[in-house]
Amino acid sequence: MMANWIETLTGSLEQKRQYKQYKARLEALPEPYAAAAKALQRYFMYYGGVMDGETVTTMLGDLVELWERAAADGTSVREIVGEDPVEFAETFAQAYSAKRWIDRERERLTKAIENAERGGPQ
């Protein structure tokens, strides 16, 4: 009962636990994989703007697994991300569809313009 109340305020405790585990796995990666994975994870937090915790934990889990496999196989960072790391990151993030912060702002902007056309409040 208490956990449900707390989760209502803070979000899923299970997702927070998974997120911490994924972050620990990122930290445990050997270099240069750890540096690349951390850079991508940071970029996803800014680029993706995903509001759904389940989607974030799934994406981070897949990212960790990708780099763990690359490290185990000896695959170079460039072989994974290619010549354009931004393109790789954005393509990777787009595979995880979820409601994003920008979606809320797009809706807000559309409604404000519609209200402005009608002469109503913004």
What's the rounded Cα separation, in Å, for the pair 60 and 29?
Answer: 14
Domain that holds residue 109: 2-118
pLDDT at 120: 66
Whether pTM exceeds 0.75: no
pLDDT at 66: 97
How many Cβ atoms sit within 10 Å of the Cβ of residue 97?
A: 10
Domain tally, the chain = 1
When pLDDT is cut at 50, 70 and 90, the band that residue 56 belongs to is confident
Calculate mean pLDDT across residues 42-68: 85
CATH number for the domain spanning 107: value is 1.10.1900.10
pLDDT at 13: 82
Give per-residue burial for 18-44: e unless 16+ CB within 10 Å, then b. bbeebeebbeebeeebbebbbebbebb
pLDDT tens digit sequence for 72-100:
999 999 999 999 999 999 899 888 876 66
Q: Are 88 and 81 in contact (CB under 8 A)?
A: yes
Q: Are 101 and 49 in contact (CB under 8 A)?
A: yes
